[in-house]
Structure 1
Amino acid sequence: MAFTFRTAAAILCLAASAATAQQESGRVGSGAPEDIFMEITHGEDGTPVLSPEEFTLANGGYYRFNVVCPEKLTSETGLHFEATKLLENAHIRVLSVGGVDIEFYTQGLSFRAIECDDAGSARFSFHPMRTGVYEIYVRDQAVPPKEAFGRVVVE
């Protein structure tokens, strides 16, 4: 009986430590995704400002990328977010919009962009599947557009 109890306790400890372990490159993550946030605002001159501008992720990790647009916007002043090469080299899991529980389960399908035409947020969970440096491109709706660039480094 004691051996069974010790064995079960050891298994539970291993499971608990695995659940709290950091993302490990080359291992497809499981459990809940790790949240990362990018806030997009306008600078004094109207140029989009990304905060932060860079993320370092583990290849195969499980992440939920939150794009946050905190400012009041319109379709004329809105912001457009793209991470084309990252999305082409990732396994997309779930898309969701705003603070409500509306989710789109894509299971590997892709999408092209997120556009903020008002204050709010959108997020997508994904597994990056190839190492590399991937550009994030954000522009406003001006002609010509004001642009900002960020990057995701997958190790």
Structure 2
Amino acid sequence: MKPIAAALALFLAGPALAQTQESGRVGSGAPEDIFMEVTHGDDGAPVLSQDEFTLAHGGYYRFNLVCPEELTSETGFHFEATELLENAHIRVLSVAETDLEFYMQGLSFRAIECDDAGTARFSFHPMRKGVYPIYVRDQSIPPKEVFGRIIVE
């Protein structure tokens, strides 16, 4: 009886355990949401709500790029995390609203542009440990830039 009770307890706890990301173990279940909001600062430069994220190697995450302001193609933002994308297994790309564009290159994408208020997101497994830069710029000439980073442990 005890082995059956233990197996049942593990089965029922499964969804709760799936939220814990463990380095070196490819995650399963629902991805853990990560949010980064990009807005304009007083000087017009992009401002990130968070500029550093620490993730578990092999974990399962959904990165949400949130652009809450009304934007145009002249006032929007351009997001890149090239090195992370080169070292991750991309699962799903999605756009919650219109005028958010994914630029595809091979089996991955290289950038997301916010040309209006909305959210774009991608779910992924980081497959290599390291520190990966995040680059966000506006559409001005020369562009105003801001940098963040993702640390995969």
Report the TM-score when normalising by structure 1.
0.88
Deviations 1:96-128 (A, max 9, x none): 10169xxxxxxx931001100000000000000
Deviations 1:50-83 (A, max 9, x none): 1111100000000000000000000000100000
Offset, 1:18: 4.2
Name the residue aligned to 1:64.
62
Offset, 1:20: 1.8
CA RMSD, Structure 1 to Structure 2 (Å): 2.0
Name the residue aligned to 1:80.
78
Offset, 1:7: 3.0
CA distance in 1, matches of 2:97, 2:11: 31
Aligned match of 1:34 in 26, 32, 35?
32
Unaligned runs of 5+ in 2: 99-105
| Closer/same/farther in 2, CA of residues 44 and 143 from structure 1, 3 Å limit | same
CA distance in 2, matches of 1:54, 1:15: 34
Rg larger in structure: 1
Name the residue aligned to 1:92.
90
CA distance in 1, matches of 2:9, 2:31: 21
CA distance in 2, matches of 1:79, 1:68: 10
Report the TM-score when normalising by structure 2.
0.90
Offset, 1:13: 1.4
Offset, 1:19: 3.0
Unaligned runs of 5+ in 1: 101-107
Aligned match of 1:118 in 116, 119, 122?
116
More strand by share: 2
Paired-residue identity, %: 76
Report the residue type matching 2:3 in the other structure: T
CA distance in 2, matches of 1:44, 1:129: 37
Report the residue type matching 1:42 in the other structure: H
CA distance in 2, matches of 1:53, 1:15: 37
Aligned residues: 146
Aligned match of 2:44 in 36, 43, 46?
46
